[in-house]
Structure 1
Amino acid sequence: MPSISVGEVKPGSKIVKDVVTPLGGILFTKGKIILPRDIEILQAFLIQHIEIEGAQEENKAPETAKPVTKHAASKPGALINESQLAKSNSPLHDEYEKMLALIKKSYASAAAAQLPILELRSQLEALISHLKDYHILKFAPRVLFDQDYNYHNAVLSALTSYKIAQWCGYPQKDWMQTAFAGLLHDIGNVKVDASLLQKPTPLAATEIEEVRRHTTYGYQLLRNVTAINEGVRLAALQHHEKIDGSGYPLKLEGSQIHFYAKIVAVADIFHAMTLEKAYRKAQSPYLVLEELLAESFGKLDPVIVQTFIQKTTDLYNGTRIRLSDGRHGEIIFTDRSNPTRPMVKVEGTIVNLMLERELYIQEIIA
């Protein structure tokens, strides 16, 4: 079969045989068109050769490299979940990575140039066209590099904000604008010292104040951007406000906060806590939902939070999960009054997570 070195692979090439990782998982399936981000993924998994349509027969070589004793990523700071990669060959992931690359480029130039808002909208629409395949508790990026955390948070917050706006029954005209609000809510970070955003240790009081200025920086950057409405700008300014007035930067209360900002606040907190960072493990999405519920008493909009929890945990019986103690099982019953703590069947035994509070669902497998 025609094979080519990964270093020679060009975006747009078509894979003609499944690409298998050194541990035996399927990384990319036959027929996939290679995107620029896919080349980084291949390198991260130490894949040396793949079989590409049109490649010369004489370039044939073994498909995968043997594992080495060093970290399995070719770039420092690559956080890779192979179990997620095995199930991430989808148009949704392809469009997600295009959106990620575009928002990364847009953020990089935001302080000096106008945002390419029409290009952003076009790619956002392409991504949202696959929204039916986006399950908030199940979806994970193929590869997460430390330095890309903020961009992943932006794209995931866009998708989740769009869904929340739908679920809460807001007018359709607000759905795309709410997605823009999620995508651009942290754009003010481009004017904050990057070392503060990546700092793994607690910030000093002066550093906290500087980081908090990202809200006002964001509003200023979006003030003259066309094709977005005022709600998007206000979401950048207000997404850290709390309904009891304890938030920042203006200590607004309740109805003073735009509903886009209330939606984005929920999406942002969820993804900030469930995305893995170099210095902090990703938290269980189910525990994060419970923390959001606690925050809905005086901090976050309770209707938005309760709707978010009910919709995201609306899983069919038989959904396979992994518990916090490492055991695998399946959901057999969900009490809608306690949706984050269903009954699960594990090794022939029924585990009631309402009673066994020390256990929780760590991951949805399928």
Structure 2
Amino acid sequence: MTIKAVNEVVAGVKLAKDVHTPLGGLLLQKGKVLLPRDLEVLKAFMVDQVAVESVEADSTRIPTVKSAGQKPSLIFTGSQQGDGTEEAPVRKDLPLHEEYDKTMILVKNCYQSAITGELRMYEVRNQLDNLLKHQQDYHILKFIPRMTNRHDYRYHSAVLCALSSYKLAQWVGLPQKDWMQVAFAGLLHDIGNAKIDPIVLNKPSKLTEEENEEVRQHTTYGYQILKNVAAVNEGVRLAALQHHEKVDGSGYPLRLEGNKIHIYAKIVAVTDIFHAMTLDKFYRNAQSPYRVLEQIQLEAFGKLDPKIVQTFIHKVTALHSGTRVRLSNGSSGEIVFTDSQHPTRPMVSVQGEIINLVQQRQLYIEEVIS
């Protein structure tokens, strides 16, 4: 082990000890093979020196550069298992998109048949199961449906809420027996909208009080539609009824307080808000997912379950260093560090310059590119 000044450290050496920020947060882990962007991070945090393993002790890891004309990147000989290096992702056509499209079409049919109360739940369950088999390929901030239009907003929202609620149920520690039912809750939470006048639902201007009252009825209609559906449990029905309730008792339709709101409804409330704001609607363009997460974080104070909100935000923003993003000023760069205290405002490297979004509040991440 050798203590070296950061200015003297070169890419390719391995850390012998953890490196922490001045406030004590973990910056880089022991065993991490330093990449060029890691050196930028160390300098940005004004770290003076680090403990590294001697080059002689790890001579098999001498970095080489790809052939001329290509962007330089580190290539290491020997095994890279467990040493902190990152392999380039392999791009492929995902079956997830195919199953997503099938589920979306089925949900659309369900909305049309819900008016008569005839839901094809056996078919829905089989298709949802096929979709969730590929949920490991679903990242909430990265996934983009292949075909979208404003007319299908509610059906996209339903399928995305199913996928996201399924993940969130796992993240908050619900038993496995609940995961599929929570996915059903996400898929069917807005099914009551099938009985609302579409002219009112899609009205581009502010609703009148009477129209607002009509829209709020979708929660009660949803519970009634699902009441006699044997394939779902009571939590799914209550999610349809309660997903607009607030923990401070200010929601609707029953003005329930936190301890009276079903856990499924609390989970769906978070994913519903996220996808409602990040999808294009008739009357509003999609918003930046990172800006939406910040708004959801504000909603956590008295409106949404704070534990569920914090879990959701920290999990979806846990992107690997090197994830490419586009900022609100149009520039593109790579995430190099995410502070757990400010998960929606990481440090981004743009053309060699480190931009700290915590300090530069006028900027935000507009889109996750890859």
Specify the TM-score bucket, using the shorter chain as the normaliser. Answer: 0.7 to 0.9
- 1:89 shift after superposition: 3.6
- TM, length-normalised to structure 1: 0.75
* Residue 348 of structure 2 corresponds to residue 363 of structure 1: no
In structure 1, distance between residues paired with 2:166 and 2:352: 39
Q: Which amino acid in 2 is paired with 1:335?
A: D
- 1:88 shift after superposition: 8.5
* Residue 331 of structure 2 corresponds to residue 337 of structure 1: no
Q: Which amino acid in 2 is paired with 1:105?
A: N
In structure 2, distance between residues paired with 1:122 and 1:284: 33
In structure 2, distance between residues paired with 1:340 and 1:289: 7
* Residue 159 of structure 2 corresponds to residue 175 of structure 1: no
- What is residue 295 of structure 1 aligned with on the other side? 299
- What is residue 192 of structure 1 aligned with on the other side? 196
Query: Which ranges in structure 2 are unaligned for 5 or more consecutive residues?
Result: 1-90
In structure 1, distance between residues paired with 2:147 and 2:135: 20
* 2:204 alignment partner, SS class: coil
- What is residue 312 of structure 1 aligned with on the other side? 316
**Contact kept? 2:203, 2:283, Cα under 8 Å:** no
Larger Rg: 2
* Residue 101 of structure 2 corresponds to residue 97 of structure 1: yes
Q: Please, which of 206, 211, 217 is the counterpart of residue 207 of structure 1?
A: 211
C-alpha RMSD of the superposition: 1.0
- Where in structure 2 are the equivalents of 1:76-95 lying within 5 Å? 89-95=93-99
* Residue 257 of structure 2 corresponds to residue 246 of structure 1: no
Aligned residues: 280
- 1:304 shift after superposition: 0.4
- 1:111 shift after superposition: 1.2
- What is residue 165 of structure 1 aligned with on the other side? 169
- 1:348 shift after superposition: 1.4
- TM, length-normalised to structure 2: 0.75
- What is residue 272 of structure 1 aligned with on the other side? 276
Q: Which amino acid in 1 is paired with 2:298?
A: A
- Where in structure 2 are the equivalents of 1:346-361 lying within 5 Å? 346-361=350-365
- What is residue 257 of structure 1 aligned with on the other side? 261
Which shows bigger deviation, 138-147 or 236-245?
Answer: 138-147
In structure 2, distance between residues paired with 1:354 and 1:145: 34
Identical-pair percentage: 65
- 1:113 shift after superposition: 3.8
In structure 2, distance between residues paired with 1:255 and 1:280: 34
Query: Which ranges in structure 1 are unaligned for 5 or more consecutive residues?
Result: 1-86
- What is residue 144 of structure 2 aligned with on the other side? 140
Which shows bigger deviation, 89-98 or 250-259?
Answer: 89-98
* 1:144 alignment partner, SS class: coil
1:277-300 CA distance string (max 9 Å, x none): 243111110011111111111000
* 1:143 alignment partner, SS class: coil
Q: Extract structure 1 runs of 4+ deviating beyond 3 A.
A: none
Structure 1 residues 219 and 311: CA distance shift in structure 2, 3 A: same
